[in-house]
Amino acid sequence: MKWIALCVAKLLPLLLLASGSWAQEEGGRLADSLHRLIQQHPQKDTTRALLLAKQSFYSYSIDASAGVREATEALTISDSLHWIKGAAIALQSRGACYWSLSNYKASVDDYLRSIQLYKALGMDNLVAQNLISLGTVSQAIGDISSAKAYYTNGADAFKKIKNYQGFIGALYDLSYAHMSLQQYDTAKSIIEYGIRNALEHRIPREFVSGKINLAELFVTSNQFNFGKALLDSLVNEKFGILEPYRAAFCNDMLSNLLTTQKDYKQALVYRTRAINLYKQIKHYGQINESHLQIGNLYYLLSKKTFIQPEREYYLKKAEKQIYQVIRNGRENTLHELENAYYVLQMVNEARGNFKQAYHYQSLSKQISDSIFSKANQREAVARSVGYVYQRSKDSLAFASQVTQLQLTTYFNKKLVEDYQKRQTILYFLIGAGILLTLMIILLYQRNLSNTQLNNKLTQQSLLQKIQEADFEHKMNELSSRALQTQMNPHFIFNCLNGIRLLIEQNDSSLASTYLIKFSRLIRLILESSSKEFVSITDEIDSLNLYLELEKLRFKEKLSFVMKLDLPNQHDIYLPPMLIQPFVENAIWHGLMPKPNGGNVSIQMKSDPINRILIVKVEDDGIGMKESKSQKKENEARPSRGMSLTSDRLKLLGNKFKRSWSINHSNIEMDAMKSGGTLVTINIPYK
């Protein structure tokens, strides 16, 4: 029978939010005081936002529509104040209200947004709670795969922060997801694992919850004897703070179990106990549900008796219970109203009052149309069209109330209406089929284009990665070679030898000074070799230290001067070890062959508009022509620094799509009339 199936189906969502339901039903006792506080605090500040969000959370099982309005106002205030925590709380409360209203899409959107905000705030416990809520919503809409994923992620999140009560509750929720897929062995293993954890961490509430879940698994998997035995032992358990709710739930399950076994009188006893417990804690949703199921039990009892007075007694009792549900007004959900009208329809059918039965069937259909999919709507419409004459044909009581002529006229009218409706439905289906075909074609073409675009982007991404890997390899190789040129053994040996001579001459102060400079230079070179860009300040420090150490070796044969025109010095970054090779080249190939040595001048000037660093290295050495004529003599120490520098800048230019490379036209070497060489370098800087 439909009603028995509905009773069994309601077992799953009942415990999915057991802990949350208790908190919200307890909130029903605080709703009035919260409402007064909100009225006394009209200022749109964080206090009002928090009060509204809490009121919304407590309203979700009492008046969910009002809860949505309260949470929306709280969210508006929090956004205007840029209060992230308030916005997260408001979204969580509104998500619960949307869930109660069966607006699952809006519920999922709000829960996802609240999770993002809680993550930003580092509130891991609330992130885990909302993951469990998302699992509940996913299970309600039949997306069991997503539900299992959310429950698993929520359990992991609780376990990570050592919230073992939340972790065990998430395990029980996960077991319900497996139960809905009839994976009873897996569900049982998960529940037993939760019970073991409850014992290990000494959480008696979750231990009892596990036993209740295990009993429900036995009932759902048709192991009625095991389920009933466990439920009987649980009815009188001491459940602590949640005793009324959990005891009521156990009585509910026992009633459902006995209903499936057609022991309606004993089922009525357990159901009456449950509704009294729900009334103690003001759990309005379950009070309405209990009224519905008690009404259904009275209806089922009326079908088991053939004594008319007794039958009418049960039918009146059923009506009274159902009218209680309808009179509760705002506490009703659409599903409860639909089921209430369904029971009234069956009661009136049992009395032979088909006109009134049709009235309640129409009301039930109207609600059903707002809940079910279009396919279910069409089925409900077809059932409504054929309802009157089908019931009247099967009922001798109705046939005795009308003449044969009236009955014939009635059926003819219905046949015409039925034909017209079938024609309308046929035209609608044809139009919908054409529209669906066009949509499929458009979606196919769009997917094909997207696939081609994705393949192209994948190829480009792969090529880019190959190029980047090649670039990194070449840059590492060039950087290593550049480091070798700066730290060549001859230079290091000469520096240490010069310091040694100062020590032998008992000039310990000067030796210490040069030793410190030498160590600073080595440290700067090693640090900059691992960086892609260094500041111009570090580059200038390296040059100064290098020149001072070279002067230690050449003494009066070498003098240098550095002129800087860098108004934006702190804003200039360039690849390391670019300028030193040109200074070294000027000393070794320009001044060293000259008997009396000479001078080196280094000028730096920045062009902030074009972001160009202009470097001039000038020496009064033997000049380019004489240097080339002595090339064979200098083959023992070839200069590789400038070629390595050019290669490095070319690679950087290719990577960043900018003119980082130094072309031959950008490096000008001209023999001066007075002898010597001038090197001009234009370096675009970062």
- At 563 the pLDDT is 92
- At 278 the pLDDT is 83
Assess contact for 645 and 485: CB atoms under 8 A: no
What is the residue extent of each domain of the chain? 20-122, 487-684
DSSP 253-293: HHHHHHHHTT-HHHHHHHHHHHHHHHHHTT-HHHHHHHHHH
- At 24 the pLDDT is 41
Report the sign of the C-alpha dihedral through residues 623, 624, 626, 630, in that order.
Answer: positive
Ramachandran class of 602: left when φ > 0, alpha when ψ lies in -120 to 50, beta otherwise: beta
For residues 623 and 475, what is the distance between their CA atoms, to the nearest angstrom?
Answer: 32
Residue numbers of the chain with a pLDDT score lower than 50? 1-28, 241, 330-331, 373-412, 636-638, 663-667, 671-672
pLDDT digits (tens, 9 = 90+) for 254-286: 888 888 888 888 889 888 888 888 888 777 778
Assess contact for 391 and 410: CB atoms under 8 A: no
- At 524 the pLDDT is 82
For residues 525 and 568, what is the distance between their CA atoms, to the nearest angstrom?
Answer: 24
- 580 Cβ neighbours under 8 A, 6+ residues apart: 486, 542, 543, 546, 641
- At 657 the pLDDT is 61
- At 190 the pLDDT is 92
Assess contact for 70 and 48: CB atoms under 8 A: no
**Is CATH 1.25.40 the right assignment for the domain spanning 20-122?**
yes
For residues 206 and 241, what is the distance between their CA atoms, to the nearest angstrom?
Answer: 12
Q: What is the CA radius of gyration of the chain?
A: 43
- At 499 the pLDDT is 81
> Has this prediction a pTM greater than 0.75?
no
- At 110 the pLDDT is 92
**Is CATH 3.40.50.360 the right assignment for the domain spanning 487-684?**
no
User: β-strand 667-671 against 598-607: which pairing, if any?
Assistant: unpaired
pLDDT digits (tens, 9 = 90+) for 152-196: 999 999 999 999 999 999 998 999 889 888 898 998 899 989 989
The secondary structure of residue 632, as a DSSP letter, is: G
For residues 598 and 575, what is the distance between their CA atoms, to the nearest angstrom?
Answer: 29
